Amino acid sequence: MGSESKKRAAREIGKIVGIYALFGSAWIYLSGYALVWLVTDPHLANQIEVYKGLLFILVTSALLYQLITRFAKRLAESVEKLEESEARFQAIYHNVNDALLIHEPGGRVTDVNRTMCSMFGYSREEALQLGVGQLSQGEPPYSEQEARHLLTLAAQGVPQTAQWRSKKKNGTLFWSEVSLRRATINDEERIIVMVRDIAARKEVEEALRQNEEILKLLMEEMPAGVGWSDEGRVIQYLNGLLSEWLGLACSGKPTLEDLLQRALPDPEYRARVQRLWDAGIGETLKNGTPIPPIEAKLTCSDGSIKHVILNTRLIHHRILFIFTDITKWEALQTEILKAQKLESLGILAGGIAHDFNNILTGILGNISFAGLLTASDHPARRPLEHAEKASQRAAELAHQLLTFSRGGEPLKKVVSAAQLVRESLALSLHGSKVQTEVEIPESLHAIEADEGQMSQSFNNVIINACQAMPDGGVLKVKAGNVSLDAQNELGLAAGEYIWISFIDEGCGIPFEEQKMIFDPYFTTKADGTGLGLASVHSIVSRHAGKVEVISAPGKGTTLTFYLPSTGGVMPEQEKKSAVPCPAEGGEGPVLVMDDEEAIRTLAEDLLTHLGHATVTCGTGEEAVRLYREASEAGHPFFAAIMDLTVPAGMGGREAAREILAFDPQARLIVSSGYSNDPVMSRYADYGFCCAVVKPYRWADLQQALQKKS
């Protein structure tokens, strides 16, 4: 019983005693005086005294009964209420979800509830024998020492709450939240310890933490600048990429206005972008419509400009903003447009160049023939030489046009890039004032490339470098091997590559012109065609490579090729022999098949001058017939020169197949304006002895007729 209950009981007993004493005193005093006043007979007085005593006993007994009955009733009611309260307390005490332990200040356990027993796996008797540290992990910061420290602080009247690693009877550890508070129970100081199992909560917290870490990792790894601000437009988060771009950290609590000021330094441009942004946010707050994306040119802390798309969302009173860098995508779009231009040009160039070469064959061939027939001191000799050089220049232009045509697809084989570069340097720098410094390692890998096209590319670059240094200078050539992964900045497929850099000391390229140097027909030279670097770009692209240019006015130009390599150095290979041709056995008739009459006439004149009787025809069918008739008559042709392509008729390839079927030793020469046609590059695979590229001169025909393999 508590002290308050004892005091209440003592007060009730005091009341009973007081009432009894007061009533008894009043009875004795008043009845005694009344008896003295009213009765004078002693005998009668004694009898009345006896009756008065008996009456006193009866009356006081009735009074005591009444008082004690009322006290007992109140006591019974109090006990009943106390029992009900105790029952409620016990029900709560034993059925709460938290384990309850009552400790003495020294640490001894005096009571536990049933939840404690089920939570930790101990019986009540076992729990009362537990020491302070037996319900803890046992290692700092969850050891007996830390547990006693919490008990000490709680005993001093300072409530304690801590997350704890608790240990069950079977040794299982779990997370709990422990609260300690001092209390007085039955006039004794006690420490009430409440243990709440928070394992599920910790799992949720851990899952949330992991989700936050994953989200943060995703934000940090995203190839975009990401951040968000609160309702007050104070930035709460910036991912690493956006911080790097702008040189801005959210630790300084910058605002969205600070971010825009850093990203868009031009006040007028910034105001225009901010108006669009604020208008979009306002519409979303008003109507719930999505905020439209905004294109902007973002200025980075290093001075570079990025073309970005700004996407914004309002999420839980936060403004989420994402800057997506589309600079490379924009460059890719430019490359696609450039490729489309080249494709359109190629469709046109293929047909034009073929017809142009046929015309040039008549012009160049006749000019060279006229020069042959003219004495060296003849007044016409010099003009003829100039005309021949001009025709040669026109032929080179036609050849560059063919690079863009479908006929210019590379005919790849394993070649040494180092050898091609050295040969191009020797050819293109002959007679120039430019010196070279070549740093090409022996370990440079071989490439699969069209030898002719790649040489043309190197020649064009070297010639450009020479033109940029008219007073001479040094052209440095460096090369090496490189492995590119799938995320390389060049946009090339993953694999092994070589790089070759041509570094000149020329005047450099103005920044505004650098995006146009690979465009067809773009040139800064009065006598330029604008096809040199355009053909370089086309050739390298068709070899699955890339060309990059770094230049600045007055600081020279570095042009770097990236080309897929074989992954190893150039292997030693035996040269493939062409189809054997019969040895030159003196003069003999030559068959010429070409659909252009002017070319047939030129070929006949040139061959006649070279001492060959000549028969001409316009189709492959005629050539096969004439060749067969001559063979059957016992007067076979010494050689046959056949045009590769004949519109609406049999060309040289099909005619050669039929002739070789009945004369495997036939000396066949293929001729075409499509110098990059597979038959022209691998003529031996199709049964020809050699190939003559239009436009040709008399010397080209003479060399072809003398070739034996």
Evaluate if residue 586 carries a pLDDT over 50: no
DSSP per-residue string spanning 362-408: HHHHHHHHHHHHS-TTSTTHHHHHHHHHHHHHHHHHHHHHHHTSGGG
Local confidence band at 512 (pLDDT 50, 70, 90 cut-offs)? low
Q: According to CATH, what is the number of the domain 409-564? A: 3.30.565.10
In this predicted model, what pLDDT tens digit does every residue of 340-352 receive, in sequence order? 766 666 666 666 6
Answer whether 473's CB lies under 8 Å from 504's CB: yes
What would the pLDDT profile of 254-272 be if each residue is shown by its tens digit?
888 888 888 899 889 999 9
- pLDDT: which is higher, 550 or 640: 640
For residue 187, the model assigns a pLDDT of 83
Mean per-residue pLDDT for 68-82?
Answer: 79
Average pLDDT, integer, range 3-23: 74
Q: Is the pLDDT of residue 582 over 60?
A: no
- What kind of fold does domain 204-325 have according to CATH? Beta-Lactamase (3.30.450)
pLDDT level of residue 587 (50, 70, 90 thresholds): low
> In sequence order, what DSSP letters do the residues of 105-149 get, joined into one string?
TTS-EEEE-HHHHHHHT--HHHHTT--GGGGB-SSTTSSHHHHHH
Q: What is the pLDDT of residues 422-437, one digit of tens each?
A: 988 887 787 788 898 9
pLDDT of residue 232: 85
Asked if the model's pLDDT at residue 191 lies above 50, the reply is: yes
For residues 583 and 564, give the distance between their C-alpha atoms in angstroms, rounded to a whole number: 41
State residue 404's pLDDT score.
55
- Which position has the higher pLDDT, 414 or 359? 414
Mean pLDDT over 11-40 rounds to 76
Work out the average pLDDT over 109-133: 92
pLDDT for 578 equals: 36
Please tell me the distance from the alpha carbon of residue 527 to that of residue 529, in angstroms, as a whole number.
7
pLDDT classification of 579: cutoffs 50, 70, 90:
very low
pLDDT digits over 445-493, tens only?
Answer: 999 887 777 888 898 889 888 888 888 889 999 999 999 998 888 889 9
> What pLDDT does 159 receive?
94
The answer to whether domain 204-325 and domain 590-706 are alike in fold is no
Confidence at residue 580, expressed as pLDDT on a 0 to 100 scale:
37
Q: Which residue has the higher pLDDT, 66 or 156?
A: 156
What pLDDT, on a 0 to 100 scale, did the predictor assign at position 427? 75
pLDDT tens, 279-321?
A: 988 888 888 888 899 999 888 988 888 889 999 998 878 888 9
Given this structure, which CATH class describes domain 590-706?
Answer: alpha beta
pLDDT at 576: 37
What pLDDT was estimated at residue 26? 79
* pLDDT for residue 252: 80
pLDDT at 525 over 70: no
- Mean pLDDT, residues 6-23: 76
Q: Which CATH architecture has domain 96-197?
A: 2-Layer Sandwich (3.30)
More confident of the two residues 624 and 380: 624
CB atoms within 10 A of CB 317: 8
Average pLDDT (620-627) is: 95
pLDDT 10s digits, 681-706: 788 889 999 888 777 777 888 888 88
Choice among 150-164, 606-620, 666-680 with the minimum mean pLDDT: 666-680
Distances in Å between the Cα of 691 and the Cα atoms of 611, 647, 678, 685, 688 are 21, 20, 11, 12, 7
Amino acid at the residue 648: A
Per-domain residue ranges of the chain:
3-93, 96-197, 204-325, 330-392, 409-564, 590-706
Q: Are strands 557-564 and 546-551 parallel, antiparallel or unpaired?
A: antiparallel
pLDDT confidence tier of residue 401, bands split at 50, 70 and 90: low
Please compute the mean of the pLDDT values over residues 389-398 and round it to a whole number.
Answer: 66
Of residues 72 and 205, the one with the higher pLDDT is 205
Residue 249 vs residue 510, higher pLDDT: 249
165 has a pLDDT exceeding 80? yes
| pLDDT number for residue 637 | 94
Percent of the chain with pLDDT over 70: 86
* pLDDT value of residue 342: 61
- pLDDT grade, residue 585 (50/70/90)? very low
- Distance (Å, whole) CA 164 – CA 175: 6
Distances (CA, A) of 663 to 91, 520, 615, 642: 116, 46, 18, 16
Residue 583: which pLDDT band, with cuts at 50, 70 and 90? very low
Q: Averaged over 197-211, what is the pLDDT?
A: 89
